[in-house]
Structure 1
Amino acid sequence: MSEPRRSPERERLLAAVERVRGVAVAHAEASERLRTLAPAVVDALRSSGLFAAAAPRAVGGAESDPLTQLEVFEAMARADTSAGWSLMISALLAALAGGSLPDEGARQVFAGPFPTFAGLQVPSGLARRVSGGYVLEGRWAFGSGVRHARWVFTCAIVPPEGGAPPAGPPEMLSLAVPIEQVAIEDTWDVAGLRGTGSDHYRIEGAFVPEALTCAFPGAPRRRGGALYAIPLLALLAAGHVGFALGVGRRALDEIAAVAPRRIKAWPQLALGSHAAFHMDLGRAEAKLAAARAYAFDALGRMWDRARSGEGLAIEDWAEIRLVQTYVTEVAAEIAGFAYRAGGGSALYAASPLQRCFRDMHAATQHIAATDDAYEFAGRARLGIAELHPLLAPREAAGGERERRGG
């Protein structure tokens, strides 16, 4: 029997977002100034249980489905972009670590209060095999939330022993490293998503036991339901889509509030009385609603296939990539419209309109929302696309491919 399509935790998680909302809004400017999430917001997220939203129940998580995750990340990003992004990153890394680490490592990482995570899943370091584990060194960018993380879950290449060149793609690992073994660099001085603390980090010769590692990108599912059997990019898709939808909605909330009191200089009339603005606002509402419906449709069908044990075909992968890029583009367009319509007052740091504009355009630079998603979809439509390793099915715990992921 397949898993339920929607998580029974949905209402509890959305209620938790509402409890955190006021704290996140009140400290949004502080997060910007600090260039990392304000401590009060981190504390509120920890006490809410939201960091556990996507992790398996076996490690203390809510094991929520992708559609519930989309709504949770959307709601948090609508309240505050930095809080929404930071929550998404930590919660999804907890899902990856919780679903894939060996039992001994999972017990260590998830002991005590539910942990916070940071880390880039791009192999920017080297993990040299030694007795009992690996010696890890490297430097990684975009460690969102690293200043409040307890663990860094990162990725490295395992160089072949003896220095011989690999016969095929290099072996790669994800590794869980306690924050005490991580050096954080103060690099996050950026235009957008300033409050996320996405600094570079270094790891210099840390020993990582075998139990705190798993294969990358196709680690076996060791615990949890069907969610943890789907490949990496599919598992992460709801997070990026939910964030973009939340920022787009916040931008429309803000411009609708500003319009009645913003007096345009030349006609000396309120923006909210202009027919042209009404038309643009209506179009923006339709575009965001259409993008949201597309997201629920695409991710819902992906989830239905995963629950039933079906594999994801090339056409499914094209849609998973398309929906992330398309929704991000729509949200960026809407944030741009709202910012321009806000006039000169939207320039000021206190204006949420400029924050939505900057943060949403920062999100367009993420690897999950690149333009080559359209190219891949075009090749898939013509029957000439090939799967990238990041789209490959996961290994089964015994080393064989799981049928449901292929």
Structure 2
Amino acid sequence: EKVDGGYKLSGQWGFSSGSEHCDWVFLGAVVPEEGAPFDMRNYRTFLLPKADYEIIDTWHVVGLKATGSQDVRVEGAFVPEHRTHKLIDGHNCDNPGNKVNDAPVFRLPFGQVFVRAVCTASLGALEGALAAYVETAKTRMVGPAKMADDPFARRLAADVKTAIVEMKRTMFSNFDAMMECARAGQPIAIDDRVQYRFDSAVVADRCAELSARMLKAVGSKGIFLGNGVLERHLDIMASQAHVANNVNMYANNFGGVQFGNDNTDLNL
């Protein structure tokens, strides 16, 4: 709700990662604008100190437990205008802070930075799952032979390692291209941003598929709590549920843009 000098904010937000360790929290909401559509074009992020919100213990999950992504409840907190940020400013790479923060990194679209924080965790978990898979294969017997001598087990290790390298190469290449534009003071083409957004979203799905194959390959070892492949697989499955990894939504936008339609994603 708009009030003098800022906004009055109320509600309950989920998935607030790291909230128990922080003194401030970012919360998103759409601001009602007279005569304007109630959609993401009027979306803002609000910065609140710990005294203005309550943490609700809801994070009882099968994976990514360490993120501590509890719910946050706010009841009528005042947030001054200067502690809000318009999504559209981030999309346009024209944030108020650019007047004083002129380093190229501050010219990157916030959405592009944010989604990489999410997909990167999936890649790290897949690397951990591969390491656990390799260790298991060294000692697990499959009939009279070690799993490490099984050509199918070896092929799977090769496939996973290669996929990790490919995904990392794509993520680094996309980021380097954006930084090159930022350093040159040039806008990053929307068509490129749409593709980068899709490239990031597919990572969790690919990681989930590969970790599932490794979990099946380790057989009965993989059903025990504490098994490294299982634990990392559950983390990947949890990351797959994040809205930033909803690949169908971003594939639809990416495909539509290729067919000549306008981009519909303001958070990229």
Q: TM-score, normalised by structure 2?
A: 0.88
In structure 2, C-alpha distance between the alignment counterparts of 1:231 and 1:298, rounded to whole Å:
13
Q: CA deviation at 1:168?
A: 7.0
Within the candidate set 122, 126, 129, 2:2 is matched to 129
Q: CA deviation at 1:246?
A: 1.2
Residues 253, 370 of structure 1: alpha-carbon distance in 2 compared, 3 angstrom cutoff: same
Aligned residues of 1:314 and 1:385 also touching (Cα < 8 A): no
What amino acid maps onto 1:185 in structure 2?
A: I
2:83 corresponding residue in structure 1: 212
Within the candidate set 253, 258, 261, 1:381 is matched to 258
Alignment of 1:2-401 (within 5 A): 128-160=1-33, 164-166=34-36, 169=39, 171-219=42-90, 220-222=95-97, 223-264=101-142, 267-371=143-247, 372-391=249-268
Q: How many residues end up aligned between the 2 structures?
A: 259
Q: TM-score, normalised by structure 1?
A: 0.60
What amino acid maps onto 1:154 in structure 2?
A: L
In structure 2, C-alpha distance between the alignment counterparts of 1:308 and 1:196, rounded to whole Å:
36
In structure 2, C-alpha distance between the alignment counterparts of 1:214 and 1:336, rounded to whole Å:
40
1:51 corresponding residue in structure 2: none
Q: Secondary structure at the match of 2:57?
A: coil
Q: CA deviation at 1:202?
A: 0.8
Residues 135, 298 of structure 1: alpha-carbon distance in 2 compared, 3 angstrom cutoff: same
Cα RMSD for the two superposed structures: 2.0
Aligned residues of 1:185 and 1:199 also touching (Cα < 8 A): yes
What amino acid maps onto 2:230 in structure 1?
A: Q
Give percent identity, aligned residues only: 25
Residues 224, 268 of structure 1: alpha-carbon distance in 2 compared, 3 angstrom cutoff: farther
Larger relative contact order (CA 8 Å, sep ≥ 6): 2
Aligned residues of 2:194 and 2:263 also touching (Cα < 8 A): no
Q: CA deviation at 1:301?
A: 1.1
Structure 1, 214-223 or 131-140: larger mean CA deviation: 214-223
Aligned residues of 1:318 and 1:377 also touching (Cα < 8 A): yes
Gaps of 5+ in 2: none
Residues 224, 341 of structure 1: alpha-carbon distance in 2 compared, 3 angstrom cutoff: farther
What amino acid maps onto 2:266 in structure 1?
A: P
Structure 1, 360-369 or 325-334: larger mean CA deviation: 325-334
Gaps of 5+ in 1: 1-127, 392-406
Q: CA deviation at 1:217?
A: 4.0
Q: CA deviation at 1:165?
A: 4.9
Aligned residues of 1:328 and 1:364 also touching (Cα < 8 A): yes
In structure 2, C-alpha distance between the alignment counterparts of 1:174 and 1:154, rounded to whole Å:
5
Aligned residues of 1:217 and 1:232 also touching (Cα < 8 A): no
Q: CA deviation at 1:255?
A: 0.7
